[in-house]
A = this chain, B = another copy of it.
């Protein structure tokens, strides 16, 4: 336990801290994963991704499904496009959006690797 140590300059158990630091992914990776989570942290974007995983859709049908205005939907689609989570094809006046499967799968794989596995594997008794 070592709670007899005195906390100087915000460090109680240096040994413990160094062990944790050595086992943690670097800060850049954590930020990337957090970035991906942030994208999915909005219910509207969540539902957009969900809907597009079922079927390719045009903007106005998508807007209807997620219950947003056409403009708001378009803004979200733009940010999702920038993150390469969705792609689109223009067909006349219409724009048909679908998931960017490879990239989404890759992102999920990264998340699973850096978060879930990390948690499942390190089941030690504290």
Which of B11, B27, B119 contacts A108 (CB under 8 A)? B119
Using an 8 Å CB-CB cutoff, how does the interface string of A32-45 with B read, 1 for contact, 0 for none?
01110110111101
Which residues on B sit within 8 Å (CB–CB) of A23? 54
Given A34-B41, A38-B38, A105-B119, 13 more pairs with CB closer than 8 A: A1-B91, A7-B60, A11-B60, A12-B61, A13-B61, A17-B64, A20-B51, A24-B50, A24-B51, A33-B40, A37-B40, A108-B119, A112-B116
A: number of interface residues (CB 8 Å): 64
Total copies of the chain: 2
Which of B12, B98, B122 contacts A126 (CB under 8 A)? B98
Which residues on B sit within 8 Å (CB–CB) of A34? 40-43, 45-46
